Amino acid sequence: MSLDLPAWSEPFAEGNREGLRHRGPWGRVDRDWAFGDGSGRGLRVAIIDSGVERDHPAVGGRLVESVAVERVGDEWEVVPTQPMDVVGHGTACAGIIHALAPEAEIVSVRVLGPDNRGNGGAFATGLWWAIEQSGASVANLSLSSRSEAFFGPLHELADEAYFRNVLLVSAANNVSVASYPSLYASVVSVAAHDLPSADAWFYNPAPPVEFGAYGLNVDVAWRGGTRMVVTGNSFAAPHIAGYATRIRAAHPGVTPFETKALLAATADNAGVA
């Protein structure tokens, strides 16, 4: 197993993938049918992160709205903001999703500061806005909270998203501690595998982390129109978010539960006894 893999990625590493053998009820579903034309047309994806740089070539001009969560007195509020990224992390996620679903619209919800860190209250407020106000069908969460105080509030928001037909795709934490919302059953939880392929992903029949996707040495967009090579579960999650966007665009009315099932049925290990 590569020593560079982030935590929670072990089930998806070479040598451990034998444990992913799983025959689902349908066998493997054809990806061409599941993804349709692969455009993501008609779908909106919220990226809850450090912002998205609108003019970055990798975003393709698909950023349609930018908001930020800011402290106003004793409360967190969502306010319009400039289409910028204070780190580069959110733009990386946006670029991955745009490459996979190029006609999907992108909404940026900035909850992180220049140090790529944030407050649990800001995170929860941004997630609430993405669910209730953004019009997104898919939300990418390449961030998490380790705070037990936010276990309950974030769980309620994850359930609310599920009931409101918004699919949450969440990266597992890069260190071996519990983090939320990636450990909730209602979200699509993702860690990195060790294959150099954006077209490969695996379903893990032994959650909590359910999917392994491309997250090792990924060439991504970054702040200031640049690119860089990065590793982390943060960059695996938007690959699954991009594929989920394709599925939801190709099959209007498909639910989060059905989308997750189709992601499992199109995985590289689907239908393997």
Name the residues annotated as catalytic: 49, 89, 234
CB 126 within 8 A of CB 78: yes
- CA atoms of 119 and 15, how far apart (whole Å): 38
Helix, coil or strand: residue 66: strand
Count of positions (residues) in the chain: 273
Cα–chain center distance at 217: 17
Q: Kind and range of the H or E element at 243?
A: helix 233-250
**Is 42 buried (19+), middle (13-18) or exposed (0-12) by CB count in 10 A?**
middle
Residue 204 tokens, joined: 């893990």
The three-point CA angle 100-137-12 to 5° equals 50
